[in-house]
Structure 1
Amino acid sequence: MSDIPMDVPLPSAPAEDTSQHVAGRRRWVLLWSLLINFFVLLALYNGVISVLLPNQVAALDPAAKAANLAIVMSITSIFSTLTTPIAGALSDRTRSRWGRRSPWIALASLIGSMCLFGVSLVTSLWSITVLWVMAAIAYNAMQGPLSTVVADRFAPANRGTASGFIGAGMTAGGTVGIIVAGQLASQLVLGYLVFALAVAACCVAFVFLNREVPSEHLKPAPFSLPGFLRSFWIDPRQYPDFGWAFLGRFTIYMGYQGVVTYQLYILRDYIKLSVDQANVVIGNISAITFVMLLFSGLVSGFLSDRVGRRKPFVFFSSVIMAAACVVPLITPTVEGMYLYAGIVGLGYGAFTAVDMALMTQVLPRDTGSTGKDLGILTTAINIPQAISPVMSAWLLGLSGGDYSVLFIAAILFVFASSFFVLPIRSVR
């Protein structure tokens, strides 16, 4: 992208395509469809990553289970991060009677589910890795276009509600997925099959229930590989709002994931609980966080649409999350962790509810690249999920295993993210 001098006014954005915006009954069907799809998708992610895959890898070589699982997840993270923006860009160029996003949602979910079920049938680390990476690529190729539906089919005034529904679905799905996977951990084939069938069925049903406008008549821009690759760099000097939004999302997830990843070890080594006590308390923490996330997400998304503002919700939700991380520093007790869980759930729920709506409103003016641009913003979540555990391990090494440094780092990251939203000009 060419640079634009700061003293030259930017051209006004073209009128937004409203041909696919839904209203009335269709809007409610789409809202609940999105909630259910993201519920099932996050149930799969959390159930497989937290329960099924670790059990399967541990059964291969119990002594090397941690290292082997790290290998699988590291490789997967690389491919997942690359897939989302590429699939989004390709969906922007897709021309079919089913539209631009629907073919990706349906076909990629079917391919991913077949690969996921294949994971349950193999018995070596390399075959598990290959099939799980293939499943992750397919599911990320589906998730990007599915997320883009918010920008495609909802008017800006309704995107806070849509974002709230998606956030509620993700929150509930992540919790339920771990519970279901725990019940099926002794029957890995059945466990993988349940999640694979659920995602495939929901995605295919989504496409049929929420028919997309055909895209056959749309003329794609001329394609060149160098131009296609260059399009993934969005110059923050030319599109500063996009850059600030990316930075804000990146930093808040760096802080949040750094604590969540080591939560069980925090309870054991910082709060000084036994193994059995820690396992009980972490379940209670998850339940408290879940309730607050669900309530905060739905309410914040609705209120954001009612008042027509995004930035105050994102700002104050970040401040609330930073305040939550102060509690365990002052009160390193079980009660302190419960209070932390409630406050962080309140803040994180509000953030996830409004964040997606905000992201759809800071996209560059080229409305034909919505899928690609939202995919790039998704990497602001994927990258912290991969590197924040490494950062946390490094901090623990420097501090001699003092877990308070994780809360201090989280406060710094999350609090900083609240200020990155302030310079955004295109969204109130």
Structure 2
Amino acid sequence: MDQQPTLTEAPAVALSGIPHVEGGRRWLLLCSLFVCFFTLLALYCGVLAVLLPNQIATLDPAHKVENLGLMFFVTSIFSTLTTPIAGAFSDRTRSKWGRRTPWIVAGSVIGAITLASVAYMPTFWSITAMWVIAAIALNSMQPALTTVVADRFPEHARGTASGFVGAGMTAGGTVGMIVAGRLANNMPLAYAVFAGAIALCCIAFVILNHDTSSKGEPLAKFRAGDFLKGFWIDPKAYPDFWWAFAGRFTIYMGYQAIVTYLLYILQDYIGLGTDRANIVIGTVSAITFVCVMTSSFLSGVLSDWIKRRKPFVFAASLIMGAALVVPLFMPNLEGMYGYAALIGIGYGAFMSIDMALMTQVLPKDTGEAGKDLGLLTTAVNIPQIISPVMAAQLLKYFNTDYRMLFIAALVFVFAGSFFVLPIRSVK
């Protein structure tokens, strides 16, 4: 078995064979990644946590929990299948614009058009169908954008790059909920803002950060059987890949259970009215924003400095677990604000280091980083399938007692913290 690279073993070129960025172009790429992931997560969190829950509740208030869980279940199936497949095909893309650019542009534009249309859908199933199309497009774009970190940065610099990405994602998610909460009374405008932003920033990204042409690169003949087999990564040969997958999966199971129903938690657990909850979700997000920004940047840079990843991921998941305890003992606004602060610190640190750790547990250099990172992304997507359904069933079984949701999330997050410990190729 080939030895997986350690933290200090920086290859001369990236996983794709593209030269690493240096100097001013490195900082331009870092800032561009921050903006793109900021916008993408603002879209996801604003739509998933605020806009869609409001639409679903308006259609059928009595069954809002079950309907929202069903919508996320259906959508996440398509998202989970799309991500690794799109990543694999981006590895095989040969064009004068490079491997990733066509996917970034097409996915963001199609996703923007269909997302803007969601606001005009009159029924549950029409909303679901249009959001599924948007999610497929956006999840076709995301693995190509994610793989840029592995393509263009050496391993010893990926903590900093991951810190920029993690800060963009977590801060964007926070700002997205604030913006969505403020615009929730005007759905067409709200959806249009997010749709226009993702298309514009992704187009600007590929213009400012030119990909290297892949036109002349050798390409193995496409065989469906070999293509499908490529999605299997042997746990015996690459155990670290699957430990990282398991840790990411369980942490997101816990995190997603709360985020999905945050608006309903404010309404039904804290006792706020709809208008007040839409405003307070922005306040909660603003608190998270401050903590996330500080935590993400400091964790990413500090991780590169001390050349360690695992302690940061472990500590971050423990802090996230502590955040989930607060609302159990303080079922009020103060408790939610405490949750917001701690989840920001923990989740910010987790996101900033998680991306760097993921790039370092990939299988040997096969030129399939897009596919492999796409597989690791399913550790985020699969919880989006299971977690809302699990949460809806828990709430149904325990008569809408949101304490059980916090307890279940706590179990998953604490479990996830221990899956990083067996990883041997990353310190």
CA distance in 2, matches of 1:261, 1:40: 19
Which amino acid in structure 2 is aligned with residue 226 of structure 1? Answer: G
CA deviation string 1:191-229 (max 9, x = no partner): 333322221111111111101111112112232101111
Asked if the contact 1:362–1:427 (Cα under 8 Å) also holds between the matched residues in 2, the reply is yes
Residue equivalent to 1:349: 348
Higher relative contact order structure (alpha carbons within 8 Å, sequence separation ≥ 6): 2
Secondary structure of 1:367's aligned partner: coil
2:2 to 11, 25, 41: 11
- Paired with 1:72 and 1:213, the residues of 2 have a C-alpha distance of 39
CA RMSD of aligned residues (A): 2.6
C-alpha spacing 1:138/1:411, structure 2 compared with 1 (3 Å) = same
Q: 1:157 and 2:184 equivalent?
A: no
Q: CA deviation at 1:62?
A: 6.4
- Aligned residue pairs total 419
1:273–1:65 distance in 2 versus 1, CA, 3 Å: closer
- The residue aligned with 1:23 is 22
Match of 1:166 in 2: 165
For 1:403 and 1:59, the matched residues in 2 are separated by 21
Conservation of the 8 A alpha-carbon contact between 2:323 and 2:343: yes
- Aligned pairs for 1:87-166 (under 5 A) are 87-166=86-165
Residue 362 of structure 1 corresponds to which residue in structure 2? 361
In the alignment, which residue of structure 2 is the partner of 1:297?
Answer: 296
Equivalence map 1:38-57=2 (5 Å): 38-56=37-55
Which residue is 1:408 aligned to?
Answer: 407
Gaps of 5+ in 1: 1-9
Taking structure 1 as reference, are residues 11 and 208 closer, same or farther at Cα in structure 2, changes over 3 Å only? Answer: same
Please give the TM-score of this superposition, normalised by the length of structure 2.
0.89
Contact 1:256/1:414 (<8 A) preserved: yes
What amino acid is the match of 2:245?
F
Any gaps of 5 or more consecutive residues in structure 2? 6-10
Deviation at 1:357, TM superposition (A): 0.5
Separation (CA, whole Å) in 1 of partners of 2:182 and 2:329: 37
Measured after TM superposition, the shift of residue 171 of structure 1 is 2.1
Return the alpha-carbon distance in structure 2 between the equivalents of residues 57 and 272 of structure 1: 19
CA pair 365-324 structure 1, distance change in 2 beyond 3 A? same
Q: 1:205 to 1:69 in 2, by over 3 A?
A: same
Alpha-carbon distance between aligned partners in 2 of 1:279 and 1:190, rounded to the nearest angstrom? 16
1:65 Cα deviation after fit: 5.8
Cα distance, 1:119–1:283 mapped onto 2, change above 3 Å? closer
* Alignment-derived partner of residue 5 in structure 1: none
SS in 2 for 1:389: helix
Change (3 A) 1:71 1:217: same
Query: Which residue identity does 1:310 align to in structure 2?
Result: R
Cα distance in structure 2, aligned partners of 1:11 and 1:73? 39
How many Å separate the matches in 1 of 2:4 and 2:224? Answer: 26
Report Cα offsets for 1:387-419 as digits up to 9, x if no partner: 112223333444454433333322322122111
Bigger drift between 331-340 and 347-356 goes to 331-340
Once residues 154 and 425 of structure 1 are traced to their aligned partners in structure 2, the CA distance between those partners, rounded to angstroms, is: 22
Q: In the aligned structure 1, how far is the partner of 2:200 from the partner of 2:110?
A: 12
Residues 59 and 328 from structure 1, CA distance in 2 versus in 1: closer, same or farther, beyond 3 angstroms? Answer: closer
Of stretches 13-22 and 174-183 in structure 1, the one that deviates more from structure 2 is 13-22
In structure 2, C-alpha distance between the alignment counterparts of 1:112 and 1:352, rounded to whole Å = 24
Percent identical among aligned pairs is 63
Relative distance call for 1:394 and 1:91 in structure 2 (3 A) is same
1:82 counterpart residue number: 81
Cα deviations by residue, 1:323-381 (Å, 9 ceiling, x for unpaired): 23333344445433332322221111100110011000000114311001111111111
Mean Cα deviation higher: 155-164 or 387-396: 387-396
Q: Secondary structure at the match of 2:364?
A: coil
1:207 aligns with 2:203: no
The whole-number CA distance in structure 1 between the counterparts of 2:99 and 2:66 is: 40
Aligned runs of 1:228-247 on 2, under 5 Å?
Answer: 228-247=227-246
Q: Per the alignment, do residues 16 and 377 of structure 1 end up closer, same or farther by CA in structure 2, a change over 3 Å counting?
A: farther
